[in-house]
Amino acid sequence: AILFLPSESFRTSPSCWTPSRRLRSCSSRPRPGWRMQVWSNPQALEEYQDLLSGKQQVASVDVPSVIVGGGRVGEMLRGAGGGDDVVVGRGGKIPETHEGLDSFPIYVCVPNSELEGVIRSCPSSKLDDLVFVQDGMIEPILKKYALCGNENTQMLPYFTLFSKGGRPQDSLVDLGTDAFGEAKYAGETSICGKWAGALKQRLDRLNLHSRILFYRDWRRAMLEKILFDSVFPLVGSMHKGLSIGEVGQRHTEECQEMITEIAKSLPGTLAVTLMYGVEERLFAYSQHDNVEYRPCKIEQYPFRNGFWYTFSQQAKQIGFPDPTPMHTEYLELAKEKGIIDFNL
């Protein structure tokens, strides 16, 4: 249950648009916000108790697997296997046993829009073996089927596949070391859940850097990537003809303000905070060779910008301030100017 409470610390700042609706530099002054009281997530405590009691998840190993979907990612994972995987076409039947095994990963390599169809067609005994490799906010779909927790395997991809059968290009950025001397990176492919170890073995064979996280931390990393995929293309689209890298260099303040705005809304909307250093990682990632030349296009709307916009609409419907007014303003102006042709 979520209770919306007005914050005493609301401050009103000027809009990022002049009366003539021309873009201008956005000030760093506070924008209207909201505060929500939520039940805290007990998952962090559960993970800590499991660690103390020795009930840490057993690392899985690669075994003959089922791959649903034969596109670029499906072909990549099949090529990294041992030659004994089976590929199931979209709409095909998912087997309950494979190569004499009752337990094996089922890599779901289909577009986000086809995800529910695969889940519905999966035998109930195999639902916990599904491995989701999608990019974008699929959490609402997974929650409908109780597939969004510690044991469920998900991958957050930070690599580029230019063609089916091609070799994946890692998008890892080395940021040096932190205050404790530990290596820190941007663009880290992250995995969580039951079959994380098995998937990591395949990525290792492809020379792709990856890390295994508890679900709670994986979720924070996932939200960070959705933040990048929502903010940089949106800001760039409003300035026409820019690449992702150019947005990071020329419109740093706009991106920073929108990143901060959305990040500040997360404790109230999702009871989560992002990991320290998010801006450093996102701007570094925007300059990676695989990323900086990408054109700015608002894509996969329901799984990126549309996710934040839903919270904005819900808040306004019950008479509370928009938690992300700058994002809403840019998105609605993009619609008004014909930059996007789909319904918000």
- The tens digit of pLDDT for each residue in 218-244 reads 999 999 999 999 999 999 999 988 999
With cut-offs at 50, 70 and 90, classify the pLDDT of residue 91.
confident
Q: What's the pLDDT score for residue 56? A: 52
Residues 23 and 142 in one domain: no
Question: Is position 143 within any domain?
Answer: yes
| Distance from the Cα of residue 138 to its chain's centroid | 8
Residues 10 and 114 in one domain: no
Q: What is the number of domains present in the chain?
A: 2
Residues 72 and 208 in one domain: yes
Q: Tell me the pLDDT tens digit for each residue of 136-173.
A: 999 999 999 999 999 999 999 999 999 898 999 999 99
Question: Is position 342 within any domain?
Answer: no
How large is the average pLDDT for residues 286-292? 97
**CATH code (residue 224):** 1.10.1040
Residues 29 and 130 in one domain: no
Q: What's the pLDDT score for residue 38? A: 41
Q: What's the pLDDT score for residue 36? A: 40
Question: Is position 196 within any domain?
Answer: yes
Residues 194 and 290 in one domain: no
Question: Is position 106 within any domain?
Answer: yes
Residues 71 and 204 in one domain: yes
Residues 73 and 190 in one domain: yes
Boundary-marking domain end, from 194, 213, 232: 213
Position 11 pLDDT exceeds 80: no
Residues 241 and 329 in one domain: yes
Q: Tell me the pLDDT tens digit for each residue of 14-54.
A: 333 333 333 444 443 444 434 343 444 555 556 555 555 54
Q: Token match 């932190």: residue?
A: 178
Position 254 pLDDT exceeds 70: yes
In sequence order, which residues have a C-beta less than 8 Å from that of residue 177 and are 6 or more positions away?
183, 184
Boundary-marking domain end, from 213, 245, 265: 213
Residues 207 and 222 in one domain: no
Question: Is position 112 within any domain?
Answer: yes
Contact 128, 145 (CB under 8 A): no
Boundary-marking domain end, from 213, 241, 272: 213
Residues 153 and 275 in one domain: no
Residues 82 and 191 in one domain: yes
Residues 252 and 319 in one domain: yes
Question: Is position 245 within any domain?
Answer: yes
Task: Indicate the average pLDDT of the chain.
Answer: 87
Question: Is position 295 within any domain?
Answer: yes
Range of the domain at 301: 2-42+218-336
Q: Tell me the pLDDT tens digit for each residue of 166-209.
A: 999 999 999 999 999 999 999 999 999 999 999 999 999 999 99
Question: Is position 282 within any domain?
Answer: yes
What is the identity of the amino acid at 8?
E
